Amino acid sequence: MKQRASGGLLVLPLVAFLFVFLLYPLCYLAANSLVPGGGVLEGRTKQVGGWSAGQWLQTVTLENYVKLFGDGYYLSSLLHSVVLSLAIAIGSVILCIAPAWVLVRTRFPGKRLFRAVLTIPMAFSGVIVGFMIVIMLGRWGAIPAVLHWLTGEAYLSMTAYTLSGLVVAYIYFEIPRATLTLEAAIRKFDFDLDAAARSLGATLWQRLWYVLVPLLLPAIISTVALAFAVSMGSFGVALIIAKKFNLLPVDIFLEITGYANFEFASALCVVMLVVTLTTNLYLRRLGEKHYVFKQR
Amino acid sequence: MRLLIAALVAIIPLWPHGVRANHFDAKAQAEFKAALEDAKKAEGTTLIGYDHQPNYANWGGVQKFFTDKYGVTWPPDMKSSVTAMAALIAEQPKPQASIVYYNAAIGSQAAERGLHEPYKPKGWDLIPKEHKDADGRWFNIHYGTIAFVVNTKALAAAKAAVPKCWSDLIKPEYKNLVAYDDPTVQGTAFDAIFTALWVHGGSYDNFTPGIEYLKKLHPNIISYNKETSYNPSLRGEIPIWIHADGSGYKMKHHDGGPVEVVIPCEGSTVFPLNVALVKNAPTPRLAKLALDWLNTEEAQRVFAESFFRPIHPGALTPEIAAKMKPLYGSYDGLKPYDLPQKVKMVDAYKKAWIEQVRRAR
User: Which among A40, A139, A239 has the least Cβ separation from residue B85?
Assistant: A40
Torsions phi, psi for B101 (to 5 deg): -125, 135
Strands B116-117 and B270-278: what pairing? antiparallel
Residue of B83, B88, B89 to mutate, testing the A interface (most A Cβ within 10 Å of its Cβ): B89
Handedness of CA A199, A201, A202, A203 (dihedral sign): positive
Across B154-234, the runs of DSSP E, i.e. the strands, are 178-179
Cα separation, A162 vs A145, in Å, equals 18
d(CA B182, CA B353): 10
- CA B99, CA B277: separation in Å to the nearest integer? 5
Q: Which of B78, B79, B80, B82 is most worth mutating to test chain A (most A CB atoms within 10 A of its CB)?
A: B82
pLDDT, position B13: 44
SS3 B185: coil
Are residues B215 and B360 in contact, defined by beta-carbon separation less than 8 angstroms? yes
pLDDT of residue A8: 78
Is the pLDDT at A296 greater than 50? The verdict is no
Contact call for B224 and A257, based on CB within 8 A: no
- Reported pTM: 0.88
On the question of pLDDT at A291 being above 80, the answer is no
**CB-based contact B320:B304 (threshold 8 Å):** yes
Strands (E) located in chain A:
none
Question: Which pLDDT belongs to residue B296?
Answer: 94
Nearest by Cα to A247 from A261, A258, A234:
A234
| pLDDT greater at residue A214 or residue A248 | A248
Orientation angle between helical segments B187-198 and B81-91, nearest 10 degrees: 130
Predicted confidence (pLDDT) at residue A234 exceeds the cutoff of 90: no
B 83-112 residues inside an 8 A Cβ radius of A: 83, 85-87, 89-93, 109
Task: Tell me what pLDDT residue B348 has.
Answer: 94
Rounded Cα distance, A40 and A45, in Å:
7
Residue B118: name the closest of B106, B133, B103, B96 by CA.
Answer: B133
- Angle at the Cα of A29 (from A28 to A32), degrees rounded to 5? 80
Using CA atoms, how far residue B188 sits from A108, A153, B193, in Å, is: 55, 35, 9
What does residue B185 show for φ and ψ, rounded to 5 degrees? -115, -45
Dihedral pair phi/psi, residue B262, rounded to 5°: -120, 125
**SS3 state of residue B192:** helix
- Sequential DSSP letters for A129-146: HHHHHHHHHSTT-HHHHH
* Contact with chain B for residue A105, Cβ under 8 A: no
ipTM at complex level? 0.82
Residue B352: predicted pLDDT: 95
Residue A290 pLDDT more than 80?
Answer: no
pLDDT of residue A41: 83
Q: What is the pLDDT of residues A12-27, one digit of tens each?
A: 989 999 988 999 999 9
- Pairwise pLDDT comparison (A154 vs B16), residue with the higher score: A154
Q: A89 vs A2, which has greater pLDDT?
A: A89
Strand partners, B334: B268
Higher-confidence residue of A208 and B110: namely B110
Question: Strand B259-262 and strand B270-278: pairing?
Answer: unpaired
Residue type, B311: I
- Quick one: pLDDT band at residue A161, thresholds 50, 70, 90? confident
pLDDT tens digit sequence for A239-286: 888 777 889 999 999 998 888 899 999 999 999 999 999 999 999 888
The angle that helices A72-105 and A213-233 make with each other, rounded to 10 degrees, is 140
Q: Average pLDDT for residues A129-133, to the nearest whole number?
A: 89
* Weakest mean pLDDT among A66-75, A231-240, B52-61: A231-240
H-run or E-run covering B147 = strand B139-151
- Average pLDDT value for residue range A131-148: 90
Q: Tell me, what's the pLDDT at A6?
A: 73
Count how many residues are written for chain B.
361
Q: Is B78 exposed, middle or buried (0-12, 13-18, 19+ CB in 10 A)?
A: middle
The percentage of residues in chain A with a pLDDT greater than 90, rounded to a whole number, is: 35
Of A43, A139, A253, the CB nearest to B347: A43
Residue A124's pLDDT is: 86
Please judge whether B222 and A241 are an interchain contact, meaning their C-beta atoms are less than 8 angstroms apart.
Answer: no
Q: Which residue has the higher pLDDT, A246 or A47?
A: A246
Nearest-CA distance A183 → chain B (Å): 38
Displacement of CA A292 from its chain's centroid (Å): 27
Low-confidence ranges of chain B (pLDDT < 70): 1-22, 361
Q: pLDDT at residue A51 above 80?
A: no
